[in-house]
Amino acid sequence: MAALYRECAVIDAALGKLLKGTIFAGRVYRFASIDSTNSALLQDAALKDAAGVGLPEGAIYIADQQTAGRGRGKHAWHSPPGVGLYLSALLRPHLPANDVLGITLAAGVAAAEAITQVAGIECDVRWPNDLLVQGKKTGGILTEMNSSNGGAVVVGFGINVNHASLPPELQETATSLFLARGLLSDGVPLKAARIDATALTTALLQFFDREYRRLAQEGLPALLARFEQRSSYVRGKRVIVGEEGGYEGITDGLDERGFLRVKTADGTRIVLSGAVRALKQESEEIGT
């Protein structure tokens, strides 16, 4: 029988208790170090332990560091020890196949709310899954499915929490909550403070539990409306889209499945999975 990652984990009873009333209560597995919480949970979701027990919906794999953290599009996810949030949640949704994008969007709404509440800073969501603070990426969500494990969906959250610095190649486009809290938006330094990672994790999972239940109960349209409220990218944003050779346009809401509509010179296009980036307005480019 293949080895189970969870045999190398400890149950985080304290966090499990803080999550009382959610689908994650008592189901938190903590790893000191792991290759990728998403890869591990995807693999374990398909396997039973020696007693024939499989992982239930709501299982959480959380790690202090990842040695092979993964982002979207085969990018690596920078996962140094002790400063970031690296967490994956197992869902076994009873949702129409068309609503599965909704899970990623629900995760984005939940993470942005948790960041705003716990770190006290505004967090924008760049469709479909980037968490932006002060215009820079501070987190992302990777939703993966595996047809061989009975419809299990793994939702991975990576958030740069208490990083005091980032590798040079990330500094222009990424930040951490700690770094963002240390600056005013005009660049004047404030007294920086570490973020309470347990409070952030708890809030994130409580909000995600709420959004996931609401998605099942109220359906996709209500979630799409909440996502639009949370994201400056859904409407009226000048963007460049990295698919089908790349194109520019202005965002024009979400379609009924949650895909992004972009008005271009050649008509409206639907973004299925390409990276969406803001194009600087002319006034910003010339510094007025």
Residue nearest to ligand BTN (CB): 140
Cα distance between residue 247 and residue 188, in whole Å: 36
Among 140, 249, 258, 274, binds ligand BTN (CB under 6 A): 140
Indicate whether 31 belongs to the interface with ligand BTN (CB under 6 A). Answer: no
| Minimum distance from residue 69 beta carbon to ligand BTN (Å) | 4
Residues 119-138 contacting ligand BTN, CB under 6 A: 129-130
Indicate whether 181 belongs to the interface with ligand BTN (CB under 6 A). Answer: no
Among 30, 70, 230, 237, binds ligand BTN (CB under 6 A): 70
Rank residues 61 and 212 by Cβ distance to ligand BTN and give the closer one.
61
Q: Which part of the chain contacts ligand BTN (CB under 6 A), choosing from 83-91, 100-108, 254-262, 275-283?
A: 83-91
Rank residues 88 and 206 by Cβ distance to ligand BTN and give the closer one.
88
List the structure tokens of 147.
Answer: 């047809």
Q: Which residues bind ligand BTN (CB under 6 A)?
A: 36-38, 66, 69-72, 75, 77, 86-88, 129-130, 140-142, 156-158
